[in-house]
Amino acid sequence: MAASGKSTVVLKAVKKVAVHFCPFEANTRSIREFLVAVGSEKARSTNLNCEVTPVVKHDKSEPVVDITYVDGERLLMKSANLTSDEMLSVFKARCTAKDPQAQTTAK
């Protein structure tokens, strides 16, 4: 699974990614790594209309990734007990399922 974090994130099927976390909590490492992968220049260049928004709170809230796809579907991941590789794996699988061009490329 470690290799999943190294491949490129494609945001073609994504409309918005909101990453909510409290920076003073201990369980935010995975969500920060996810934000770095999704917010990278290379990933953002795959869809210039995709909004990647970090929402930094100081309220001891649980770290959450809220993803809205172009077809209106939403994916909410609570990352307190997930690794960044697990989150990226689910995210990439859902993006590939929603993008017919990515499906043919994967085959």
Is residue 36 one of the residues assigned to a domain?
Answer: yes
Q: What is the pLDDT of residue 6?
A: 56
| The model's pTM | 0.85
Is residue 100 one of the residues assigned to a domain?
Answer: no
Q: Under a CB-based contact definition with an 8 Å cutoff, are residues 92 and 9 in contact?
A: yes
Give per-residue pLDDT as tens, 87-99. Answer: 999 999 999 998 8
Is residue 103 one of the residues assigned to a domain?
Answer: no
Give per-residue pLDDT as tens, 33-71. Answer: 999 999 999 999 999 999 999 999 999 889 999 999 999
Identify the CATH number of the domain in which residue 16 sits. 3.40.30.10
Q: Is 103 helix (H, G, I), strand (E, B) or coil?
A: helix
Q: Which domain holds residue 78?
A: 10-82
Q: Is 20 helix (H, G, I), strand (E, B) or coil?
A: strand
